[in-house]
Amino acid sequence: MKNLRLVILLIVIASPTHLINANNNLQPLIDKVEPKVIKWRRHFHEHPELSNREFNTAKVIAKHLRSLGMEVQTGIAHTGVVAILKGGLPGKVVALRADIDALPVIETSKLPFASKVKSTYAGQDVGVMHACGHDAHIAILMGVAEVLSKVKDKIPGTVKFIFQPAEEGVPEGEEGGAEMMVKQGVLKSPDVDAIFGLHISSKTPVGTIGYRPGGIMASVDDFRIRVLGKQVHGSTPWNGVDPIVVSAQIINSLQTIVSRQMPLTKQAAVVTIGSIHGGVRSNIIPSEVEMIGTIRALDTQMRKDLHAKIRKIATHVAASMDATVEVTIPVASSYPVTYNTPKLVTQMLPTMERLAGENNVNLIDAVTGAEDFAFFAQEVPGFYFFLGGKSKGVSIKDAPSHHTPEFYIDESGMKLGVETLSNMALDYLKQ
């Protein structure tokens, strides 16, 4: 045993990566950058931009990365920014990703840096808000970039920083997001060996991390169903075909897919109708109704089955009432399951436990929310985890949910994000 320990010690001493010790000597740098991270987050929160329209956000990011002496590329997938930090020692390539877009939500918080931005989305005038925490993600990764740039001579390999637009979904008829970045070769030149990403959570306590090997977030497909009937006076419905009544029957029947036709002991699934439109007057039965919804699955075959069953139910329910339907799946958003490579999770778990404390790193259930980080993780080993952003003393019930006007995160949680991504990158490259 003594001989084995001596051999290990000699290997460590002989390796050039011993220049960065077990804790990577990053804490003073992280402490110093934390006020900047908070300042950046507040700037992005006050000046949010919608998907594929993150022009000013990208300019701020690129300016900072260039100030660190990095090789910076802009305009990737419209507004994406990518920077490369070449370490002073040879090694692998690790990528770190942050999403940068905001949502069409009117903010109701009383924060001094609350968003008052207005824009247009899907032909409607909307407010714009970072209602999901992407402002924190940008700021955290900018902080990581600054920290690692200060020790680049000791880094055994290369770090690629990916600031990705349009995670929330591209406008209809456009391309964008992680899928477009992959198509444009963001994981190439240099070729990425592994990628890490995080999502701050308003429902998870500050100072904690949630992770899961395998599928951690669901696939998503949006869908549209147009129900085509026959317009008629509202007083004589028997002379036409009422698409509103047909739509009601379709919606009710769609809810039986998950409750009665999916093997829920295997994985969760969701079918939700989020919007329905038809008609203009109380006494006119319209000729058509349009509904849109979302499909979530944590299993690839279940995802395929959900698509087939939605088409079948909509078609046959409509036919039974003398109507017809047009079913489109997907319309604009289609992400695969976000899959964490189990071996990579095992490899990085000691890093997270070292930083947050073993009791603060928790194995969590899969989430039916979706993430286009999944496209990166389809190409290379990936690890996506959740970072606590809920203030201590606030109950989970009272903590505002993501995608709501009241969304709020505790900025003190961002420091652990900088610590975790910085150390995970170094620890991966050292191994």
Active site residues: 335, 411
Does the N-terminal peptide bond of residue 190 adopt cis geometry, omega within 30 degrees of 0?
A: yes
Count of CB atoms situated within 10 Å of the CB of 128: 24
Count of CB atoms situated within 10 Å of the CB of 261: 13
Distance in angstroms (rounded) separating the CA atoms of residues 193 and 177: 20
User: Which H or E run contains 272?
Assistant: strand 269-277
Q: What are the DSSP E strand ranges found in 279-348?
A: 284-285, 288-297, 324-328, 334-335, 338-340
Dihedral sign, Cα of residue 106, residue 111, residue 116, residue 117: negative
Nearest by Cα to 220 from 262, 271, 149, 157: 271
Helix (H, G, I), strand (E, B), or coil: what is residue 92?
A: strand
Helix (H, G, I), strand (E, B), or coil: what is residue 211?
A: strand
The 8-class DSSP code of residue 153 comes to G
Does the N-terminal peptide bond of residue 330 adopt cis geometry, omega within 30 degrees of 0?
A: yes
Does the N-terminal peptide bond of residue 336 adopt cis geometry, omega within 30 degrees of 0?
A: no
Residues in a beta bridge with 76? 80
Distance in angstroms (rounded) separating the CA atoms of residues 85 and 309: 48
Residue with token string 């050039």? 16
From the number of C-beta atoms within 10 Å of its C-beta (0-12, 13-18, 19+), residue 396 rates as exposed
- The answer to whether 218 and 370 are in contact (CB under 8 A) is yes
Distance in angstroms (rounded) separating the CA atoms of residues 364 and 359: 13
- The answer to whether 213 and 194 are in contact (CB under 8 A) is no
